[in-house]
Amino acid sequence: MTTVSPPSRITTLVEKLSLRDQVAPDEIEALKDVLDPPREIRSGADIVKEHSHPLHSTLLISGFSARYSSLADGARQITELNVPGDFIDLHSLLMKQMDHGVVALTDCVVASAPHAKLIRLTERHPHLTRLLWLDTIIDAAIHRQWLVAMGRRSGLGHLAHLVCELYLRLQAVGQASGKADGMRFNLPLTQATLGDALGLSTVHVSRLVTELRGEGVVSWSGGQVEILNWHRLAEIAEFDATYLRLQNEPV
């Protein structure tokens, strides 16, 4: 396996925030100042434990992680997949106790932002604070769309919706190739993990992936996804990207 050097600490976060509104140089400095040095987390390890009281929020720099809740019988439901540039628990700054956990789905690089420093940031940089607030609002919007998908979409529509979402979120942080070069991204997640995200059995997920492939909509193998027909995929998903708020409008 080739090691790709992870993007610098805040590149992906700044890229994402910059899509929504201009980020000023002093705001970029403020984000840099708030973060501790990056550290590695092994795949499968908890980055934030369920019910813990974190004293810092964590920025995902590279890899995939997931917000999840566990049930007494050992089952787990993933409530959001996180991609580079996501603050995986920015809300712990104000929520204090975690109502869910965050697990590393692949080897990850993360950096902590101590809550005391984040509080100072919110006092000195109101515009940057609104941008970060927006980011937590979009997390909530993602949860809403997942709830709709979980409750009302067909299995195929649900999987297609997830693929559309992940593509746009990864592309926003430079982790997916654009339309001109084939819409490709790495998704090194097992079907069991996808099942936990979709609320479906592994067997069903595997059939749905085969079905999407069979329709010629995606090619999907070895953790690499290529969207062959975005229009058709978005149609199957009834995908409306409004909730990802990827357009530039001042906050």
Partner 1 sequence: MPHFYFHTENGDCIRDDQGEDLPDVEAAREEAVTVLGEILRYRGAAFWETASFSVIVTDADGRTVVSVTARASDAAPEGWTLQETGE
CB of 193 to partner 1, least distance (A): 13
Binding site for partner 1 (CB under 8 A): 154-155, 191-192, 200-204, 206-207
Question: For the chain, where are the E strands, in sequence order?
Answer: 39-41, 46-48, 56-62, 65-70, 76-82, 101-104, 108-114, 183-186, 218-221, 224-227
In the complex with partner 1, which residue's Cβ is closer, 151 or 250?
Answer: 151
The amino acid that residue 230 corresponds to is: W
Give the C-alpha separation, 74 to 52, whole Å.
19
CB of 200 to partner 1, least distance (A): 6
Query: For 131, left (φ over 0), alpha (ψ -120 to 50), or beta?
Result: alpha
Q: Strand 56-62 to strand 76-82: parallel, antiparallel, or no bridges (unpaired)? A: unpaired
In the complex with partner 1, which residue's Cβ is closer, 73 or 181?
Answer: 73
CB of 187 to partner 1, least distance (A): 17
CB of 201 to partner 1, least distance (A): 5
CB of 202 to partner 1, least distance (A): 6
CB of 136 to partner 1, least distance (A): 32
Q: Which DSSP letter does residue 190 get?
A: -
In the complex with partner 1, which residue's Cβ is closer, 21 or 238?
Answer: 238
How far are the Cα atoms of 53, 73, 224 from residue 173, in angstroms, in the given order?
29, 37, 17
In the complex with partner 1, which residue's Cβ is closer, 164 or 200?
Answer: 200
In the complex with partner 1, which residue's Cβ is closer, 147 or 203?
Answer: 203
Spatial contact of 78 and 162, defined as CB atoms under 8 Å apart: no
Sheet of strand 56-62: strand arrangement: 39-41, 108-114, 56-62
Token digits for 11? 């590149």
CB of 204 to partner 1, least distance (A): 5
Question: For 135-182, where are the E strands, in sequence order?
Answer: none
Give the C-alpha separation, 227 to 220, whole Å.
9
In the complex with partner 1, which residue's Cβ is closer, 10 or 218?
Answer: 218
In the complex with partner 1, which residue's Cβ is closer, 143 or 204?
Answer: 204
Binning the chain into helix, strand and coil, the percentages to the nearest 5 are 45, 20, 35
